[in-house]
Amino acid sequence: MDAYEEGALGPGIAGVLPAAPTGDNFQGTARKASKLSISSAPTENFKDVLALIKTLPAHEKMVNHKPKITTTAGSKRVKEEERNVSVNAFIYAASREDDNDFHLIIGRSPSATPETYMTMELSGLPTDKNSPALERLKKAREAFKKLFKDAGKNPPGLRYDFYHPPIHVQIDGSLFFDMSHAKGSRPGPPSLKSRMPVVWEVHPISKIVFK
């Protein structure tokens, strides 16, 4: 697994580089209730990222959703987010956000056209030991970190690491509309952002398998 670091900071991080988060607990507030929960919906299977994106509700519908989607800590999943998906995909880049989520830039096979990416996130862990999502989120996060440990490398930090070749994975998780980035600058590294057509995410990732 070869990696190089691009100068762009991960989403939600601006200005002087802050101290990297420590431990594994979630350290943010925006839509915390959704980010630390797993939908109870049946799992839908997709051959790649583009196939998934084609099924997502339109951006404007979600921005103007009724009831309104807020960015408060208690903001729960709305009906359109009550979907679990399993996607065959490739990790092209990753960073560790200041809320302690691992932010993965996920795309299609390198040989597929058109080139298409979206965000999928390994959430920081809930501090509530009775959280029904805790064990699945923990296993997914540990599997991601083990990949780097086994390769003698460190997991990504606050700047994006890029992977050449991209890392082939199967990712399971729940859908999430990133209202925090619904307007203004979209998240993602500058070199890939123009091919990231949605602010929809798979968040949290509930299972990740490396192929």
Tell me the per-residue pLDDT of 75-97, one tens digit each, with 9 for 90 and over: 999 999 999 999 999 999 999 99
**Residue range 159-186: mean pLDDT, rounded:** 94
Is residue 184 domain-resident?
yes
Does 17 map to a domain? no
pLDDT of 187 reads 84
User: CB neighbours (10 Å) of residue 174?
Assistant: 25
Look up the domain containing 162 and give its range.
Answer: 2-10+28-210
Say if 113 falls within a structural domain: yes
In a domain, residue 20? The reply is: no
- Whether residue 23 is contained in a domain is answered as no
For the chain, how long is the longest CA-to-CA vector? 48
Q: Is the dihedral of CA 147, 29, 49, 193 positive or negative?
A: negative
- Residue 70 in any domain: the answer is yes
What is the pLDDT confidence band of residue 110, given thresholds at 50, 70 and 90? very high
Q: Using the predicted structure, report yes or no on whether residue 121 has a pLDDT greater than 80.
A: yes
In this structure, is residue 111 part of a structural domain? yes
For residue 14, pLDDT over 80 is answered with no
Supply the pLDDT for residue 9.
Answer: 64
pLDDT in tens, 143-172: 999 999 999 999 999 999 999 999 999 999
Give the span between the Cα atoms of 211 and 113, in whole angstroms: 21
pLDDT, residue 71, reads 96
> Is residue 22 situated within a structural domain?
no
What is the tally of structural domains in the chain? 1
